[in-house]
Amino acid sequence: MTPEKEPTRPATPATRQGKTSSRVIEHFVAPLEETPLAAIDKVDESAAPLSLWADAWRNLRKQPLFIVSALLIVLVVIVAVFPQWFASVDPTSCTLDNSAEGARSGHPLGFTLQGCDVYARMIYGTRASLTVGVLTTIGVLIIGGVMGALAGYYGGWLDAILARLGDVFFALPLILGAIVINQLPAFRDNRSVWTVVVALVLFGWPQIARITRGAVLENRNADFVTAAKALGLSRFKALVRHVMPNSLAPIIVVVSISLGTFIVAEATLSFLGLGLPPSVMSWGNDISAAQPQVRNNPGVLLWPAVALSITVLSFIMLGDALRDALDPKARKR
């Protein structure tokens, strides 16, 4: 008795095509030593991995925006610290014989209505304007950074109180709040760099606090923080040693842009007669004093305004470059 043969199925077109393809297509793989992929894709395992800051610095060095803004800021700082290197004329030496005179030898930008050298006052006014901006930024960073870090890390009732307090100050415009504070007798009768700084810090810290709180909230539950707590590190030490160093990137970006904002705020207050006293040379005071000469001698107002604009623009460009370098997602876009 012979075994029954299994009925054969008719070959479908797909089957016939597969058989035909298996006969026709031939795969060729080149030997690895004949291809350059081994050298191109080779990873240097001996090199140490780059940190966030090292990677950011490597990208910043290739950005023309960062190079230009950094050079301008360095120049402004040098002018503020050593104004005598750039102006040999005493800015306080004013004679009415030179009132509203034009440019001449040794006085490239002419004279003000009081007979003061415009170029010398512009150079020496850099110090006061930059000092107010730097001191205000430091004060805002300390107050806003501490309050934002505590609110974001501990949360609960502390976060609720600090957040509502920040909302109250955040609702008040910076310039308007500073104008009100500087009208108080204690500030109006003792106008100086410090009164302007205190007024600006009082209404400028909420923005830094919000940025710090958001950055701390993003990093407080990270694996490295959990590991640090598991090894016996207290919550406060974990905040100081691990959370804050990893939350600095967005804070640095906002601080660099805010510095330019505070310089503009000081110039605005001085222009309105509510900032630095007239005896202090600053760009805001020079712009305010040049108002009567706008039609006859606009350069007296133009040059301190140009110096103010270039300085503020430099800090804004620096902030943009830092944002692109410290944010990997922004670089990928």
Task: Report pLDDT for 289.
Answer: 85
Nearest to 288 by CA among 172, 181, 178, 129: 129
**Which phi and psi angles does 68 have, rounded to 5°?**
-65, -45
- State residue 26's pLDDT score: 65
Token pair for 36: 């350059």
**Structural domain contains residue 33:** no
* Residue 216 forms part of a structural domain: yes
DSSP 8-state secondary structure symbol assigned to residue 188: H
Q: Which domain holds residue 302?
A: 71-83+128-332
Instruction: State the pLDDT at residue 228.
Output: 81
Strands (E), 184-288: none
Query: Structurally, how many domains does the chain consist of?
Result: 1
- Percentage helix, strand, coil, to 5, in the chain? 70, 0, 30
Task: Output the six-digit token pair for 314.
Answer: 């430099």
In a domain, 248, yes or no: yes
31 within domain boundaries: no
pLDDT at 327: 66
Q: Is residue 88 domain-resident? A: no
Alpha carbon distance 256, 318 (integer Å):
7
The two structure tokens encoding residue 189:
């009768």
Q: Give me the pLDDT at residue 263, please.
A: 92
C-alpha 32/C-alpha 77 separation (Å) is 57
Render each residue's pLDDT in the chain as its tens digit; 333 residues.
445 444 555 555 545 544 444 555 666 666 656 655 555 555 555 555 556 667 777 777 888 888 899 999 999 999 999 988 998 888 888 777 777 777 777 778 878 888 888 888 899 989 999 999 999 999 999 999 999 999 888 888 888 898 888 888 888 888 888 998 988 888 888 888 899 999 999 998 888 999 999 888 888 888 888 888 888 888 888 888 888 888 888 888 889 888 989 999 999 998 888 888 888 888 988 888 888 877 888 888 888 899 999 999 999 888 888 887 776 555 544
CATH of the domain at 179: 1.10.3720.10
